[in-house]
Every structure is written in C-alpha cells, then in structure tokens.
Amino acid sequence: MKKNVILIAVLLACSGVAHAEIESAVSGYGVTLTGGLGGEQGVGFIQPIDSDSLNSVTIDVGGNDVTFDVTLPSLKGDAYTLEGPSHEFEYSANVAQKKFLYSSRDLQYAKFGSWISRITNPDKIDAFFAQGNATLAADVPSTGTASYSGAAVFGAADGAGGYAGRVVTPASFDVNFGAHQLIGTIGADGGILSNDLVFNAAINGNAFEAGSAAGDGFHTQGKFYGPNADELAGVFRDATYAGAYGAAKD
C-alpha cells in the first residue's frame, strides 16, 4: 500500500497536476485621462499593455509609448500608506516634480494603480493600469465559485491636468467559473460614484470583459493572475471617469 501511495505522488508531481503555472510575461490593461484646466477633457479607450516587469508600465499616450516605474517608493519625495481599505495602496509624491503614484502592494502576482505626471511632453500623463503574471487559460477553474476582496482607485476626467485627485474605495467580486460570469462591485465615494458601481462581466479564458469598447459607455477589462486564478485585476472607464481595481481570493 505504501509503495502505491508513493508512486501516485510521484506521478502527480511529474505530470504537473500538483501545481498550476502562470504566464511568465507581464500583461494587462491601461486607460488614460486627457485634458486639463481650460482644455478639452475626456477619457481614453482601454488598451492592452505588456511590460518587462511587474514594476514597469508602458502605455500609449497620443501615439507615443510612455514607460513609468511603479515601484514604491519610486519618487524622491513623500511616501506613505494611503488611508484606504486594508491599506491596499501606497501613495508616493514629488510635488516639486509634480509626479504622483498610487500603486497596490498587497497582491503577489498583479499590480494596479494610477500614475500622474504634470511634466510637459512627452511625459505628461494621467493613467490607470492593471497588470501581472496571468493565470494560464487552461488553469482557470471551469467549475465552482469564488469571492475576491480588494480595492479600486479612480478619478474624474475634469481633474485631469488640474490636480492629483484620486479616490480609493473597497471592491469585491463574485465569480461563477462554471457559468463564465463575474459580478464586480466598486464602492461609491459619494462624488464621482454616487452609488456603488456594479457590473456583470463575461469570462473568456483567463480574461473577462463587460460593456462596449466603442463609444462613451461603461467598459471594463481584466484578467485572473497567479496560480489557480488566486488574484484578479483590471481597469474601467466611462465618459467622465476611469480607474483600476484588484483583489485576492477570500
């Protein structure tokens, strides 16, 4: 009997059943705010992003690729824990250089947040990002349910270029893997979001999406990250605001 148990354990380990793998490349999504005080204001469309590491984000801004460091702290200025849900974010600022970073720190396989630079072109940018080492599509559960808890950071288009205003609220997600459905809830802040933002996304492989990529309506895209879809992260946008969220399995 002992020999049989040992043999089964060896076969499971060799076959890869005992552990799930993740994508080695870093991938995700980003979205930018445009405009500023006295200028045209708006929200860009969601775009796929891929980076060399979890701590570096590259995003298209006006046809030019801009890369920024999201390591905490990456700015030679004030750095402190933001008073948000579960202290999910840290906030790093260098007011003299007019650069501001909100970056998540509690997830192991994903990172999400917001980068703001008031420096003139080519680095002037208001962006939200969510990226990481995605779960292999074959390793995303095909049955069962799961709940995730985390946070979201978002801002209004009318603040782009004018100030570094960002709001952090709780975020939660209920996933039915068998039905390929994800229901997300972004907590209201009483200003940009007067009520909780609730969306129903369709799961396709290791990614999920809700809303339309065209027009000014609500749209969100995200992915599952880590072994066995242990984490998730994504970005969202509407005609007047944009943001990013992330969460870990409860």
pLDDT tens digits for 139-180?
Answer: 999 999 999 999 999 988 865 444 456 888 899 999 999 999
Q: What is the pLDDT of residues 77-125, one digit of tens each?
A: 444 444 444 444 565 666 555 677 777 878 999 999 888 876 655 556 7
Q: Tokens 């974010």 — which residue?
A: 89
Q: Answer yes or no: is pLDDT of 3 > 80.
A: no
C-alpha 18 chain-centroid distance: 28
DSSP category for residue 220: E
Decide if 234 contacts 245 (C-beta within 8 A). Answer: yes
* Sign of CA pseudo-dihedral 192, 194, 196, 200: negative
Q: Which of 11-25, 50-64, 189-203 has the highest mean pLDDT?
A: 189-203
Q: Give the containing element (helix H, strand E) for 13.
A: helix 2-15
4 — pLDDT class (breaks 50, 70, 90): very low
**Rounded distance, CA 213 to CA 100, Å?**
28
**Rounded distance, CA 210 to CA 26, Å?**
22
Percent of the chain topping pLDDT 90? 45
Q: What is the pLDDT of residue 90?
A: 60
Q: What is the pLDDT of residue 83?
A: 44
Contacts 24+ apart (CB under 8 A), 161-166: 161/35, 161/36, 161/37, 161/39, 161/118, 161/124, 161/126, 162/36, 162/37, 164/93, 164/100, 164/116, 166/100, 166/102, 166/114, 166/116
Q: Answer yes or no: is pLDDT of 245 > 80.
A: yes
pTM for the predicted model, two decimal places: 0.84
Q: What is the pLDDT of residue 44?
A: 87
Q: Answer yes or no: is pLDDT of 6 > 90.
A: no
Q: Answer yes or no: is pLDDT of 39 > 50.
A: no
Distances in Å between the Cα of 112 and the Cα atoms of 9, 14, 15, 30 are 38, 34, 33, 9
Which is higher by pLDDT, 21 or 132?
132
74 — pLDDT class (breaks 50, 70, 90): low
Top-level class of domain 22-249: mainly beta
Largest CA distance in the chain: 78
Q: What is the pLDDT of residues 177-225, one digit of tens each?
A: 999 999 999 999 988 899 999 999 999 999 999 999 887 899 999 999 9
- Average pLDDT score, the chain: 80
Enumerate the domain spans of the chain: 22-249
Q: Answer yes or no: is pLDDT of 37 > 50.
A: no
Output the six-digit token pair for 92.
């790093």
Smallest CA-to-CA distance from 82 within 43, 114, 118, 125 is with 114
Distances in Å between the Cα of 157 and the Cα atoms of 116, 117, 227 are 13, 15, 35
